[in-house]
Amino acid sequence: MITEDLTDEQRAFVESIRDFAKRECGTREQRDALTENGNEPHNQELYERIADLGWLGVAIPEAYGGTGGGAVDMCLLCEEFARGMIPMGFFSVSMITAGAFGRFGTEEQKQEIMGGVARGRVEAIAMSEPEAGSDVGNLSCKAERSNGGFVINGQKTWITAAHAADHILLVCRTDRTGNKHEGMSMISVPTGSEGLEVRGIDTMGGREVNDVFFTDCYVPQERVLGQVDQAWMQLMAGLNNERLIIAAQALGMAQRAFDDVLAYVKERKQFGRPIGSFQVLRHRLADLATEIECARELVYGVAQKVDVDPGRLLPREASMAKLKATEIAKQATLEGMQMMGGYGYACEYDMERQVRIAVVTTIYGGTSEVQREIISKTLGL
């Protein structure tokens, strides 16, 4: 999607985010201060200020405190916060979680979760387990009926923002009699609940993901989202949303790496001339610009389709957008590092940080291999 396709309002929205990024996170000193030298992907104080501007509710209906925009607006925000290196790393998972409540929540649940996200609260979603990564259907964390609610036992892993969230939207097993995709339920567990323990996992991305342990953790029936035993269908209904959010964010990462390396090759001189004047680098940048534009067309193409018909499932197109945008984010940052030589590897510059956050985009939210499996199935393979 080219800028001319945006409405005046959307263009103004993008400009406002860019101004904010420049003002608040424009220098390396500002970014270091906001992220504890790159170790914290999310700054809650800044995040709440962004909430006050009304941006976090861009794709949340007005009835729940948002501004009622659609998928294109949400992608614009995700792309620009990544491009601007604004440390609001827990927005994506909060919005993915809010989406599930938008589709299946009761009025009260929507007010609580969607309203909370629009106000700057963080939400987490827990599907993955040690033995259930790409194969989510293999999950075994269980919730058993007891005293008008459920008692949960088991472990989740890799849970983004569980340490900062108000609730964890747990996907767990409530019935074992059917096939592995049957008998799963979604339960929103308040993070302060007794029997819930969150332990951080060290990664190259900083303080981001967690193991979560449930030991006889009781939640009342009203914390169930949607229908008991129907979580698989509910998860499938959210895939457009999840993949678009991750893809748009990856697109912003790719664009930022490209912007930074382009500026660098224009300045850096070797052999008496800017290194960007060497044809081999010029052509690589031309290729990168083309690939990033392809990813942009895919991401916004899917977002526009979702806005036309929010109920339509687009497994093939959404997987293509996620695959393309995340692979180009990884490629752009690694190429950026290569084109910056030793300075790309030095912590003094941003590129090494950009590499660290981009490489994992092809793993979370369904790996690239899983996206290719989904796409190849639509080809009858």
Ligand X SMILES: Cc1cc2nc3c(=O)[nH]c(=O)nc-3n(C[C@H](O)[C@H](O)[C@H](O)COP(=O)(O)OP(=O)(O)OC[C@H]3O[C@@H](n4cnc5c(N)ncnc54)[C@H](O)[C@@H]3O)c2cc1C
Asked if 246 touches ligand X (CB under 6 A), the answer is no
Asked if 40 touches ligand X (CB under 6 A), the answer is no
- Report d(CA 3, CA 1) in Å as an integer: 7
Asked if 134 touches ligand X (CB under 6 A), the answer is yes
Q: Which of 10, 44, 193, 367 binds ligand X (CB under 6 A)?
A: 367
Interhelix angle 239-267/351-359, nearest 10 degrees? 160
Task: Write down the least CB distance from residue 36 to ligand X, Å.
Answer: 18
- 42 within 8 A of 161, measured Cβ to Cβ: yes
Q: Which of 58, 126, 164, 257 binds ligand X (CB under 6 A)?
A: 126
Total H helices, total E strands in the chain: 13, 10
Task: Write down the least CB distance from residue 305 to ligand X, Å.
Answer: 24
Place of tokens 């103004």: 12
Task: Write down the least CB distance from residue 307 to ligand X, Å.
Answer: 25
Task: Return the residue nearest ligand X (CB atom).
Answer: 133
E strands in the chain = 123-126, 142-146, 149-156, 167-173, 184-190, 196-201, 209-220, 224-225, 269-270, 273-274
Q: Identify which range of 23-31, 187-195, 202-210, 314-322 contacts ligand X by CB under 6 A.
A: 202-210
Site for ligand X in 78-97 (CB under 6 A): 93
Tell me how many residues contact ligand X (CB under 6 A): 21
Q: Which of 158, 232, 258, 264 binds ligand X (CB under 6 A)?
A: 158
Q: Which of 50, 76, 77, 127 binds ligand X (CB under 6 A)?
A: 127
Q: Identify which range of 14-22, 155-163, 272-280, 318-326 contacts ligand X by CB under 6 A.
A: 155-163
67 burial via Cβ count (<10 Å: 0-12, 13-18, 19+): middle
Q: Which of 125, 168, 231, 374 binds ligand X (CB under 6 A)?
A: 125
**How far out from the chain centre does Cα 87 lie?**
13
- Report d(CA 331, CA 283) in Å as an integer: 15
Q: Which of 92, 109, 160, 354 binds ligand X (CB under 6 A)?
A: 160
* H/E segment holding residue 116: helix 107-118
E strands in 98-148 = 123-126, 142-146
Q: Which of 73, 79, 80, 208 binds ligand X (CB under 6 A)?
A: 208
Q: Identify which range of 16-24, 125-133, 188-196, 238-246 contacts ligand X by CB under 6 A.
A: 125-133
Asked if 359 touches ligand X (CB under 6 A), the answer is no
Asked if 329 touches ligand X (CB under 6 A), the answer is no
**How far out from the chain centre does Cα 234 lie?**
18
Asked if 370 touches ligand X (CB under 6 A), the answer is yes
Query: Active site includes 194?
Result: no
- Closest to 248 measured CA to CA, from 378, 373, 81: 81
- Report d(CA 147, CA 220) in Å as an integer: 8
Catalytic residue among 80, 123, 129, 242: 242
CA atoms within 13 A on the CB side of 208: 21
Q: Which of 369, 376, 377, 378 binds ligand X (CB under 6 A)?
A: 369
Per CB under 6 A, residues contacting ligand X are 93, 125-128, 133-134, 158-160, 205, 208-209, 360, 363-364, 366-367, 369-370, 373
Any idea which residues carry the catalytic annotation?
242
